[in-house]
A and B are shown apart, each in its own frame.
Chain A
């Protein structure tokens, strides 16, 4: 019931935005901005780039609110789709440049939050290594893990976002997990033979 109310509220916001009400954009940002930033942070190397992608997504939404079709999915799914295209374009453009130091941008948290406890956790060795392994995955595998495993969205929603069948989502997720597992095993973060070694570190 709550979900139905939220969906209808999102649709109302989109209708208000299409009618020229800018405050509807702010409401949508307050509702979905955080989740979009999580997705964007999982996809982008730097926090600044992730925030730029979220900002660009809302700019695109403001410019063309009428391009949203309620019959094709939720507003959040639509926003994820827009963000995904922005991220994809961002990486296409980035191929023309050579990063001087990628380690400086590997942290998922903002520089201004550098002294928070959450930052201490994010900067831990294991999380940083896991993040590097994630960023080394191809874009389509990275996004499927971000949507299915990190955001825990249903496969049907992910299929709508990626504009592909549910079967493709499943097969792509299977392959992405396998690639990530192999990569983490090569970094000795995963021992494929034994029990999880992280229980004693408080990560279970």
Chain B
């Protein structure tokens, strides 16, 4: 493809515009920015004195040593923590075997049944009475079971006439 010359009017305008552009020079602000750039480059590329380099090397070595010490401390601490946790777990396991739960007692559970004579009081509650006393009102037997693990419970409350038919009570029935 061959390139043609631009339209004569366009060529004139282009020439005029190129002349206008050629008359514009970089501003002092741009010159100052470039100078600043060059100055910064000279500062960056300037050789560092030997004493300063040694100081930097010393600080770098100190920082590396400090980082190493901190890392070692964290590692040792973690190991100690782990071993302590393991010891505590072992202690807990041993404690569990030394102190069994409530349903596994050292002694066989035994219990005693008490039969307590009782009558209704004026307040409407059952109160224990002397078995040899005269009946003021309807008498009941309260069967209380007391176990050797420290618990007790009311087994049943029955009218006294039913037990009297069976031969009576002495107040204690193992």
9 closest A-B pairs by beta carbon, nearest first, are A22-B41, A20-B45, A118-B23, A190-B9, A22-B42, A22-B38, A150-B18, A51-B30, A38-B21
Q: How far is the CB of A43 from chain B (nearest CB, A)?
A: 11
B93 at the interface (CB under 8 A from A): no
- Complex: how many Å from CA A37 to CA B29? 13
By the criterion of a CB under 8 Å from any partner CB, how many residues of chain A are at the interface?
A: 57
A177 touches B7 (CB 8 A): yes
- Complex: how many Å from CA A90 to CA B104? 84
- Complex: how many Å from CA A59 to CA B38? 9
- Complex: how many Å from CA A113 to CA B20? 13
Q: How far is the CB of B69 from chain A (nearest CB, A)?
A: 38
Which residues of the other chain, B, contact A152 by a CB distance below 8 angstroms?
18
Q: Knowing that A34-B25, A113-B24 are A-B contacts, what are 7 other residue pairs whose CB atoms are under 8 Å apart, sorted by A's residue number? A: A22-B42, A23-B42, A59-B37, A127-B16, A192-B7, A196-B8, A204-B12
Q: Is the interface of B mostly helix, strand, loop or mixed?
A: helix
The 18 sampled A-B contact pairs (Cβ below 8 Å) are A20-B45, A23-B42, A41-B24, A42-B21, A54-B30, A109-B24, A118-B24, A149-B6, A152-B18, A170-B1, A170-B3, A177-B6, A181-B9, A190-B10, A196-B12, A197-B9, A198-B12, A203-B16
B24 touches A37 (CB 8 A): yes
Which residues of the other chain, B, contact A122 by a CB distance below 8 angstroms?
20, 23-24
Question: Number of contacts between A and B (CB, 8 Å)?
Answer: 136
A55 touches B34 (CB 8 A): yes
Which residues of the other chain, A, contact B25 by a CB distance below 8 angstroms?
34, 37
Q: A23's contact among B6, B24, B38, by CB below 8 Å, is which?
A: B38
B33 at the interface (CB under 8 A from A): yes
Q: How far is the CB of B145 from chain A (nearest CB, A)?
A: 88
- Complex: how many Å from CA A169 to CA B27? 32
A146-188 vs B, Cβ < 8 Å mask (1 yes, 0 no): 0001111000000000000001001101100100110010000
